[in-house]
């Protein structure tokens, strides 16, 4: 699918300002939309919006279909929690208390009953899963009593009765989340802004998706991982990245006509105008690591479903507005799959000046029009942090590497290195690539302390928040001038 010439901002809603320790879908989201529209931006990219589990990562969610109740705006709620970052432990405790008050006052009506009925295909399992997690102190489902882990019908029926109030609260929270998200999407349309979502290739092991569909994943009889997902050694890690996600049983999915993936993509397209498909290369071939391993070094490449899956999705849903996240070790086979599907790939400007052999792919003079260009992503340092990096802050770059990279970047970009974030923003917007997305941290010129995620770091990620004081009228005016200048 071809996309019009446009620019947008990468910002997860948790990073919005707001009074309750974490950004949400309320008034600050609407104010952010006004800023986008004023600056001439027509895209807002978010990270996955599911309820987060391990490490507070939006890529490790308890459901691929549910919304994160932490994003629910509760009118009138206030707190003394920090506003400069998300303290997840404090924010979760505070938001859970407030959501309990909301549930106590909630009166079900016809719209609620309709929502529960229409979403029952995933909501029944998810609400039961979350109630069981609460009953068993949050431990993974593989550690529940066997009757519940193995979904014994009689045991589950009894639990539904004895824990009906908790199950109902989960349903109420999902109803409120999706009502607020729908209102936000309507506000986007009123301002000419499209929402771009993110669909990870994998789901979390400790999720309602895996618990309710064990036959679709490569698990042993106890529900443990036979193999797990990851990537081989790369730019981010010398030992690779071990993600710990279960790997699909693609034969089982194929036998069912890929119905689970069709349902997942349908749900995503009901929420978003465009979908970024994370780790696209894994659909051609994926890195498969033994389930008991503690690093990703000993993995092997295994063939994915390839074109067959996407043909099934297109047959069921029509042309798909997908952007392929094609970063990492990309082979000609991956390029061929992406090109056959007509999905634009991604280029990261921070990668354009190093000596890893792939730099040219990220240099603007090589861009086709059907490309999505970022200054950096949620997995990168901020542009200011990247440019000011010192030896030791990035184990993959020596002093000589950094010096060569800086020398080439200055020559290529015709700059002395001052305000590098604005230099990359201008270069991205001026390029022929139809789609440009800029992380909020780069718009604000923030350093490494504003980084969203450091791959491989188990904690301390996803905490970034900005303040309205940082987003000055001068910044908005400068962005507006650039979007007009370069016909975005």
Give catalytic residues, as residue numbers: 278, 325, 379
- Tokens describing residue 435: 């789609």
Q: What DSSP assignment string belongs to 116-161? A: HHHTHHHHHHHHHHHHHHHHTTT--GGGS-HHHHTT-HHHHHHHHH
Helix (H, G, I), strand (E, B) or coil at 22: coil
Q: What order of strands is seen across the sheet that includes strand 322-324?
A: 322-324, 274-277, 194-199, 43-45, 6-10, 435-439, 371-374, 345-348
User: What gap in Å lies between CA 439 and CA 237, rounded to an integer?
Assistant: 22
User: What gap in Å lies between CA 240 and CA 217, rounded to an integer?
Assistant: 22
Q: What DSSP assignment string belongs to 38-55? A: HHT--EEE----SPB-GG
Q: What count of other Cβ atoms lies within 10 Å of the Cβ of residue 432?
A: 13
Closest CA to 76 of 31, 32, 19, 38: 19
Closest CA to 10 of 383, 282, 259, 417: 383
Helix (H, G, I), strand (E, B) or coil at 395: coil
């Amino acid at each position: 699918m071809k996309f019009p010439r446009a620019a947008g901002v990468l910002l997860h809603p948790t990073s919005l300002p707001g009074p309750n320790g974490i950004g949400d879908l309320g008034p600050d989201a609407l104010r952010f939309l006004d800023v986008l529209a004023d600056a001439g931006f027509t895209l807002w990219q978010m990270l996955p919006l599911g309820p987060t589990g391990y490490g507070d990562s939006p890529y490790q969610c308890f459901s691929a279909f549910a919304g994160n109740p932490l994003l629910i705006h509760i009118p009138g709620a206030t707190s003394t929690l920090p506003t400069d970052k998300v303290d997840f432990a404090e924010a979760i405790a505070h938001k859970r208390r407030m959501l309990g008050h909301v549930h106590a006052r909630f009166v079900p009506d016809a719209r609620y009953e309709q929502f529960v009925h229409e979403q029952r295909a995933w909501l029944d399992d998810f609400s039961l899963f979350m109630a069981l997690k609460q009953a068993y102190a949050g431990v993974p489902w593989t550690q529940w009593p066997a009757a519940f882990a193995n979904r014994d019908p009689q045991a589950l029926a009894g639990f539904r009765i004895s824990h009906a109030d908790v199950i109902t609260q989960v349903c109420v929270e999902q109803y409120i989340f999706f009502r607020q998200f729908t209102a936000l999407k309507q506000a986007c349309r009123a301002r000419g802004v499209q929402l771009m979502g993110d669909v990870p290739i994998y789901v979390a092991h400790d999720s309602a998706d895996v618990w309710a569909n064990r036959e679709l994943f490569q698990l042993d009889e106890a529900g443990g991982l036979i193999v797990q997902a990851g990537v081989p050694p790369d730019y981010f890690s010398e030992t690779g990245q071990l993600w710990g996600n279960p790997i699909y049983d693609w034969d089982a999915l194929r036998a069912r006509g890929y119905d689970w993936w069709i349902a997942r993509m349908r749900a995503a397209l009901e929420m978003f105008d465009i979908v970024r498909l994370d780790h696209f290369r894994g659909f051609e071939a994926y890195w498969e690591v033994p389930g008991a391993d503690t690093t990703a070094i000993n993995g092997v490449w295994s063939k994915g479903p390839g074109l067959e899956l996407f043909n099934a999705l297109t047959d069921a849903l029509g042309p798909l507005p997908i952007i392929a996240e094609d970063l990492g070790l990309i082979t000609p086979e991956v390029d061929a799959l992406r090109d056959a599907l007509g999905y634009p790939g991604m280029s990261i400007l921070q990668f354009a000046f190093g000596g890893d052999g792939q730099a040219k792919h990220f240099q603007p003079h090589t861009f086709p029009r059907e490309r999505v260009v970022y200054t950096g992503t949620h997995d990168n340092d901020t542009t200011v942090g990247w440019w000011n990096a010192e030896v030791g802050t990035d184990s993959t770059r020596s002093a000589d590497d950094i010096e060569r990279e800086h020398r080439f970047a200055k020559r290529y970009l015709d700059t002395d290195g001052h305000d590098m974030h604005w230099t990359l923003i201008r270069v991205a917007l001026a390029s022929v690539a139809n789609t440009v997305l800029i992380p909020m941290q780069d718009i604000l010129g923030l350093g490494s302390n504003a980084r969203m995620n450091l791959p491989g770091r188990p904690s301390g990620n996803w905490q970034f928040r900005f303040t309205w004081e940082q987003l000055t009228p001068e910044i908005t005016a400068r962005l507006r001038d650039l979007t007009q200048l370069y016909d975005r």
